[in-house]
Amino acid sequence: MKVLAINSSPRMDKGNTAVILNPFLDGMKEVGADVELFYTKKLNINPCQGEFDCWLKTPGECFQKDDMEIVRPKIFDADVWVLATPLYVDGMTGPMKNLIDRIVPGLQPFFELRDDHIRHPGRGEDKQRKMVLVSTCGFWELDNFDALVVHVTAICKNANMEFAGALLRPHGSALSRMIQMGAPVQDVLTAATEAGRQLVQEGRMSPDTLSTVSRELLPRDTYIQMANQRFQQALDAVEKK
Ligand SMILES: Cc1cc2nc3c(=O)[nH]c(=O)nc-3n(C[C@H](O)[C@H](O)[C@H](O)COP(=O)(O)O)c2cc1C
């Protein structure tokens, strides 16, 4: 199984998204998946210019010669895509959206009906790919991810992929801090690894495993207090300088 993971956190390996993504990918590797990870921050991917040259003038080829030349063939070669993104204003990051828009040359311009919707046929091999979403956010409630999950589900329908589920980590910054403090949160990381194994071995991730990834880490009031204290300390430190 070939897995292409894209982490669009500008904080890359030091970010909260990586705290969930990395054990998930480790779980997939443990059971034999061939995993490749890209960080959008290290890639030079321009936004789509909307000219449709890739459909009508140079079919399958974008006129923009940037790092999408490296990523696009890997995307179409992969059996599983893992989109990892921090939640930015209720959605995915800009660089992640730019990358997704740039897969359009992999589609043909023609319309066809699929599941009673107009869609574009792909080019080349018609393999059944899966997509997994990994996301972390700063607010406490799990429903902050609702709009992102709806968006990614729609992308899967549009691109003829199976949405295999999401590893969602609300109050994500608390997890990093609790790990540093030695708090009992190992089950969350173990569940992320287990989800990776399950996806490769069983083709699905169990709802129980995914809900452990998202479980409450601390009461909301405590989180608000701790976060506000930290913000105040940071601001006080700036004032003292
Ligand atoms: C520009 C920006 C927008 C954000 N918007 C939201 C938001 O709408 N909801 C939320 O819960 N967190 C929001 N956050 C917080 C991040 O989602 C959160 O800190 C995340 O864990 C960061 O992941 P990273 O460390 O991997 O980059 C935002 C952060 C930034 C920088």
Per-residue pLDDT of the chain (241 residues; tens, 9 = 90+): 999 999 999 999 999 999 999 999 999 999 999 999 999 999 999 999 999 999 999 999 999 999 999 999 999 899 999 999 999 999 999 999 999 999 999 999 999 999 999 999 999 777 899 999 999 999 999 999 999 999 999 999 999 999 999 999 999 999 999 999 999 999 999 999 999 999 999 999 999 999 999 999 999 999 999 999 999 999 999 988 8
Helix (H) / strand (E) element for 118: namely strand 117-119
Which pair of tokens denotes residue 169? 């980590």
Determine if ligand 1 sits within 6 Å of the CB of residue 136.
yes
- For the Cβ of 196 lying below 6 angstroms from any atom of ligand 1, the answer is no
Query: What residue owns the CA closest to ligand 1's atom 22?
Result: 86
Residue 125 has a pLDDT of 74
Residue of 40, 89, 140, 143 best suited for mutating to test ligand 1, as the one with most atoms within 8 Å of CB: 89
Q: Is 173 in the pocket of ligand 1 (CB under 6 A)?
A: yes
Q: Given CA atoms 191, 196, 201, 204 in this order, what sign does their dihedral have? A: positive
Instruction: Select from 83, 88, 148 the residue to mutate for testing ligand 1; criterion: most ligand atoms less than 8 Å from CB.
Output: 88
Nearest CA to ligand 1 atom 2: 88
Q: Which atom of ligand 1 is nearest to the CA of 12?
A: 26
Q: Which atom of ligand 1 is nearest to the CA of 172?
A: 21
Q: Which of 137, 139, 217 has most ligand 1 atoms within 8 Å of CB, for mutation?
A: 137
Claim: this prediction has a pTM higher than 0.95: yes
Asked whether 171 and 218 are in contact (CB, 8 A), the reply is: yes
Q: Is 127 helix (H, G, I), strand (E, B) or coil?
A: coil
∠ CA 62-74-28, rounded to 5°: 150
pLDDT, position 231: 95
> Which residue puts its alpha carbon closest to atom 25 of ligand 1?
15
Can you read off the two tokens belonging to residue 105? 């040359």
Kindly state if the Cβ of 89 falls inside 6 Å of ligand 1: yes
10 CA closest ligand 1 atom index: 27
Our answer on whether the CB atom of 15 is closer than 6 Å to any ligand 1 atom is yes
The residue whose CA is least distant from atom 28 of ligand 1 is 88
Strand partners, 169: 136
Verify whether ligand 1 is closer than 6 Å to residue 137 (CB atom).
Answer: yes
Could you give the count of Cα atoms lying within 13 Å of 148 in the half-sphere of its Cβ?
Answer: 30
pLDDT confidence of residue 241: 81
Q: What are the distances in angstroms from CA 46 to CA 75, 79, 99, 101, 228? A: 17, 25, 8, 10, 37
